């Protein structure tokens, strides 16, 4: 909005920090719940239902709050945190930490997922940091390319919304997780 590359680059750090904090707020409680073995199935079913409910809510309520359209640079990390929480940052990692991703025969990819399932608090922090850094690198690169080569008018006139796809994927993953848990 300030029409400068410097402002765009300066915005990346607070955006990453806000997103990372949002993920940690979601992931840490769920990673701690894994220790409660006697309630694991009930927790997994509840998490599946929560993901389905949130995805369904986003499918029904597609409006974005207009108040979030222009954020002051001093509030960018807080905005990133609030939007990441609202969009479910970290929810895609909850099935891993709740042990919903299981396989009888493990290939190398599933062995890596198995290692994450058995991991501790340090691993969830590491996964959150790696996710946030790669997310901000990819998003920042795309933002710079759009800003540099297409301009701000392109963004304001051709903005597209992927919320429906995202919400549908939440419902689908929640339904698959629920089906797996009810079958076992």
CB 132 within 8 A of CB 152: no
CA–CA dist 71, 38 (Å, integer): 45
Domain count of the chain? 1
Digit-coded pLDDT (tens) for 23-74:
888 888 777 766 666 677 787 888 889 989 988 998 898 776 566 567 788 8
Q: Which has more confidence, 93 or 50?
A: 50
Q: Containing domain of residue 115, as a range?
A: 5-183
**For the chain, how are helix, strand and coil distributed in percent, rounded to 5?**
80, 0, 20
Cβ neighbours of residue 78 closer than 8 Å, sequence gap 6 or more: 18
Digit-coded pLDDT (tens) for 63-73:
765 665 677 88
pLDDT at residue 103, as a whole number: 52
Digit-coded pLDDT (tens) for 153-181:
776 666 666 677 878 888 998 899 899 88
CB 48 within 8 A of CB 178: yes
pLDDT at residue 173, as a whole number: 87
């Amino acid at each position: 909005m300030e029409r400068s590359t410097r402002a765009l680059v300066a915005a990346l750090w607070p955006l990453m920090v806000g997103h990372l904090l949002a993920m940690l707020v979601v992931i840490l409680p769920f990673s701690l719940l894994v220790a409660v073995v006697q309630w694991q199935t009930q927790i997994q079913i509840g998490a599946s239902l929560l993901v389905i409910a949130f995805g369904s809510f986003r499918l029904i309520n597609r409006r974005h709050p207009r108040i979030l359209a222009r954020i002051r640079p001093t509030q960018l990390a807080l905005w990133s945190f609030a939007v990441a929480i609202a969009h479910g940052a970290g929810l895609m990692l909850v099935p891993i930490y709740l042990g919903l991703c299981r396989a009888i025969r493990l290939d190398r990819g599933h062995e890596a997922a198995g290692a994450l399932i058995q991991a501790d608090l340090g691993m969830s922090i590491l996964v959150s940091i790696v996710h946030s850094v790669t997310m901000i690198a990819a998003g920042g690169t795309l933002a710079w390319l759009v800003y540099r080569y297409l301009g701000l008018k392109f963004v304001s006139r051709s903005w597209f919304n992927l919320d429906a796809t995202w919400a549908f994927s939440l419902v689908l993953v929640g339904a698959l997780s629920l089906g797996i848990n009810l079958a076992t």
